[in-house]
Structure 1
Amino acid sequence: MVEEKGWMRKKAIWTKLTDTDLQDFPRLTWDELRQLTIGIYQLKQSQSYTQEHLNEEGMYSIYIHREDDSVLRVQLRSRHTSSKNYNIWIKTERSNISHTNIQWYCQCKVGARV
């Protein structure tokens, strides 16, 4: 969907979010995160990785699609090449009150294969 709609090249379709804009964003349990990451390696890395990417206000720089508020974009630095940044797109869809469908795409080599 990201490549198909050209979201990699379009900067004007994104609006910066504030913490109040994420009230409806799904909150995942530890077990759901383990299933999503297929193990705990990424979860163990998450605390230091988060500290590295927080802005001055203690928040990530997160952007929402202007026409589809179920799509978010975050830009993160590579863990392996500090001068390289990748965009990550996350799409959420609530299919019912207790289940949320989450799709993602990252420009990195591993994320692009998902």
Structure 2
Amino acid sequence: MKALGLEATMPSFLDDRRQFSAEEANESRCITKIRWVVEAANRRLKQFKYFANTIQNSSLVYSESDMSIACALTNHYQPPMARSKLEDEEIGVQIIQLRQQKNKIQLLLEENNLIRRFSLWEIINHTEIIDGFSIMTQDDLGDLTFGVFQLKRARSYAEERYSSTNLTSDVASSVHRCKIIPNLIRIPTQSAHSNRATYHPTIHFTDQAIIGWWCDCFTSARFLGCCSHIASAIWFLLYQRWQTQQRRMPSGEYKNLPTDSIQVSDFYDSSDDDDSQRYSLA
């Protein structure tokens, strides 16, 4: 592959650590931003029953021609997985710039011993600070996450956190505000995979923009995009709380799961934000 100018790479392994470094998490997100197209193409091929099952050794001699036929049928009858957009080059430049960037919010938390000292945080209602945030559009949120997977999970996390599907009404929503840095908040969020794990997505903000974020889940020291826990908090405070149309059905309605899983795996780069994995799919 090197002779072709290609470099093989893969996400980092945790190796019994609690969290990836910012550089490792950024690098993993950069990989998955590219890798998902390959995974989506493989998924389309596995829609052919022949390639979805184990291929006998005696049939390997025909595998190249069989693969060519399957690819030809896929290319002819299925739409492109992605199309070039005017903003693609700009996004690529941003990713390269953020790839080696350290998480300044993590450094701020560590310098002030704010990660472990719960006494430096006070519990308040989110309505006390809601006017201190700027309002974001869905496009703004997409620019922040560098993808839509985290935003697709944002509602389910919020509904679980606030025990309500109507997030436009008055919901019982508390946040932790830092006593020494008032524009620094964190929102405890239960893991989607373990009832014993609670994460603390932390957001630094002004009334004009989000300055930065950090979360104690295994991927979110990264600054290239963010985890679903952070995306959910920002989505609720800066977008959903300002909407007027109510949603009557919960996002986790089981009958929609097969359709949702197909759409996400085929058309969107995915991520996993909990620490049940040995390596980062961030």
Length-normalised TM-score, structure 2: 0.36
What's the % identity of the aligned pairs?
A: 27
How far residue 44 of structure 1 moved from its aligned partner, in angstroms, is 1.3
Residue in 2 that maps onto 1:107: 216
How far residue 60 of structure 1 moved from its aligned partner, in angstroms, is 3.2
Higher relative contact order (CA 8 A, sep 6+): 2
From the superposition, tell whether residues 31 and 69 of structure 1 become closer, same or farther in structure 2 (CA, over 3 Å).
Answer: same
Length-normalised TM-score, structure 1: 0.83
**Which structure shows the higher strand fraction?**
1
Query: Structure 2 counterpart of 1:105, which letter?
Result: W
The answer to whether structure 1 residue 51 and structure 2 residue 164 are counterparts is no
Residue in 2 that maps onto 1:10: 117
Residue in 1 that maps onto 2:134: 26
The answer to whether structure 1 residue 68 and structure 2 residue 181 are counterparts is yes
Q: Distance in 2 between matches of 1:63 and 1:90?
A: 10
C-alpha RMSD of matched pairs (Å): 2.0
| Structure 1: gaps spanning 5 or more residues | none
Which segments of structure 1 move beyond 6 Å, counting only runs of 4 or more?
A: none
Larger Rg: 2
Q: Distance in 2 between matches of 1:27 and 1:43?
A: 16
Q: Distance in 1 between matches of 2:111 and 2:153?
A: 31
How far residue 55 of structure 1 moved from its aligned partner, in angstroms, is 5.8
How far residue 33 of structure 1 moved from its aligned partner, in angstroms, is 0.4
How far residue 85 of structure 1 moved from its aligned partner, in angstroms, is 0.8
Query: Structure 2 counterpart of 1:83, which letter?
Result: R
From the superposition, tell whether residues 102 and 59 of structure 1 become closer, same or farther in structure 2 (CA, over 3 Å).
Answer: farther
Query: Structure 2 counterpart of 1:52, which letter?
Result: E
Aligned residues of 2:126 and 2:175 also touching (Cα < 8 A): no
